[in-house]
Amino acid sequence: MNQNILVIGAGVAGLACAQYLIKQGCNVRLFEASNRYGGRVKPLIGFSDRHLEAGGQTIHHPDNDYYKMAIETGAKLEIGGDLVGSIYDPIQKKVISYKEFEDLYKKESQSLDDFINDRFQEDEPVLQRLQRKGYNMEFIHLFYALYGSEYGASIEKIGARAIGRYEFDMPMFVSDYEIENYIHHQNIIDKFFKEAIEIIEYNKQVISIKIINEKVQVQLNNDPNEFSFDYAICCVPVTQLKKLKVDPAFDESRLKQINLIGMDKGGKFFIKLDKKFLQHEEDFFLPKFNHNSLWWDSSSENQSIIIGLLGLSAHNRVMEIGIEQFAKEIVQTINEQYKVDLKVISYHYEDWGNTPFIEGLYSYPMSGIDDNYRQIISAPYQNRLYFAGEAYHPIYYSTIHGAYESGIKAAKEIIK
């Protein structure tokens, strides 16, 4: 196929897309705004003797090509821990297992089922739904975890209807798989997207896209020249899509959906402790904080490490008091609620909210969004501009394998 094609963004979606097109013999250029590839996939090197990921980590489904690529790269994949192992019970003022929680607080523990049953009710923000239906808001830390951190969202904004539909659509028997040996997602990318990586042009931030006379004309932030292509595939996070100048401007219906997709600031917080905390590695534990964060244990044999996925309010707390103080505050709360005596050895905050050209965790649907919003935003524009990235996958959005599949899909659409 003798077409000139531009791929914008060298995350998993852009790399998968470019690799596929190169293999089909297309002339591909790949512009990346930053000075590295991988986007929200990034290894955290040097913090632990265990392999850690600063961004995407779990493979959320075994029945897909990305999972197969991981196996081929040598990854040893095992089913991860329970979503909630233990939770602080603010009523009894002690930590209980999730099983005990289910027995004691039936309504609160069945909130996900409730959301699924109510998936065709009028939309409203999750927080409002929880309050309206009389859930005990003492368990706000559970709701933050289920609907906030897990979705990279604010429960004040995320839509209850979309969550119910998402949970319903999820194929049964989905399990989370963790890589248990020293294979990083970066190794998978390096093995399978070799030719795409070779053609990346770094520090090229696309700022405007104009479709004219069946060509796509693109401008960069640091270059007066215009670049012309037959097709372009935009593989940037929604935070960046919202900043792009597109001519002719998107129609109202698409714009409305794009604007109702949130991507909050947040990040991943790593704390090394002086002694072992949890017995069951990878289990999530839910101390009660006044902010939105979800924690799990990721210790190796020799090191005790806990990791927190921080949503917007937790991220804001880090910005307010600083990284060191935040680490101390977290461990102090754990000590009080779990009745342990842990000390902070070291810490690291991977701040995705302030990472240029990404500026957030991952996409989520705000209250008021259309039911088929992912299809609306991923539809090719003017037959010239295509879209790929986690935000464009109709089911597996916010995931690595969703980003991968969306990249392949966009490439196939163009070739067709």
Ligand X SMILES: Cc1cc2nc3c(=O)[nH]c(=O)nc-3n(C[C@H](O)[C@H](O)[C@H](O)COP(=O)(O)OP(=O)(O)OC[C@H]3O[C@@H](n4cnc5c(N)ncnc54)[C@H](O)[C@@H]3O)c2cc1C
For ligand X, the closer of residues 327 and 400 by Cβ is 400
For ligand X, the closer of residues 40 and 119 by Cβ is 40
Distance of CA 75 to the CA centre of its chain: 21
The CB-of-124 to ligand X minimum distance in angstroms stands at 26
The CB-of-370 to ligand X minimum distance in angstroms stands at 21
CA dist., res. 270 & res. 266, Å (int): 13
Contact predicate 176/60, CB 8 Å: yes
The CB-of-109 to ligand X minimum distance in angstroms stands at 23
DSSP 221: T
CA dist., res. 279 & res. 144, Å (int): 24
The CB-of-377 to ligand X minimum distance in angstroms stands at 13
Render the burial of 181-220: b for 16+ CB within 10 Å, e for the rest.
eebbbebbbeebbeebbeebeeebbbeebbbeeeebbbbb
For ligand X, the closer of residues 8 and 142 by Cβ is 8
For ligand X, the closer of residues 95 and 411 by Cβ is 411
CA dist., res. 142 & res. 111, Å (int): 10
CA dist., res. 83 & res. 80, Å (int): 9
Task: Say which residues have a Cβ less than 8 Å from residue 411's Cβ, sequence separation at least 6.
Answer: 16, 17, 18, 20, 21, 24, 233, 388
The CB-of-133 to ligand X minimum distance in angstroms stands at 29
Report the first-to-last Cα separation within the chain, whole angstroms.
10
279, two tokens: 């017995």
The CB-of-121 to ligand X minimum distance in angstroms stands at 28
Distance of CA 131 to the CA centre of its chain: 27
For ligand X, the closer of residues 362 and 381 by Cβ is 362
The CB-of-9 to ligand X minimum distance in angstroms stands at 3
Q: How many CB atoms lie within 10 A of CB 165?
A: 17
* Measured CA distances, 289 to 111, 298, 330, 334, 336 (Å): 20, 20, 8, 9, 12
CA dist., res. 169 & res. 354, Å (int): 32
For ligand X, the closer of residues 209 and 334 by Cβ is 209
385, two tokens: 């501009």
For ligand X, the closer of residues 20 and 135 by Cβ is 20
Residue written as tokens 């957030």? 360
For ligand X, the closer of residues 298 and 398 by Cβ is 398
* Measured CA distances, 180 to 223, 287, 327 (Å): 44, 26, 26
The CB-of-137 to ligand X minimum distance in angstroms stands at 26
Chain residues that interact with ligand X, rule: CB under 6 A: 8-14, 31-34, 39-41, 55-58, 60, 205-206, 235-237, 240, 268, 352, 357-358, 361-362, 389-390, 398-400, 403
Contact predicate 371/165, CB 8 Å: yes
For ligand X, the closer of residues 8 and 140 by Cβ is 8
The CB-of-160 to ligand X minimum distance in angstroms stands at 22
Task: Say which residues have a Cβ less than 8 Å from residue 182's Cβ, sequence separation at least 6.
Answer: 51
For ligand X, the closer of residues 27 and 58 by Cβ is 58
For ligand X, the closer of residues 2 and 35 by Cβ is 35
The CB-of-326 to ligand X minimum distance in angstroms stands at 16
The CB-of-407 to ligand X minimum distance in angstroms stands at 7
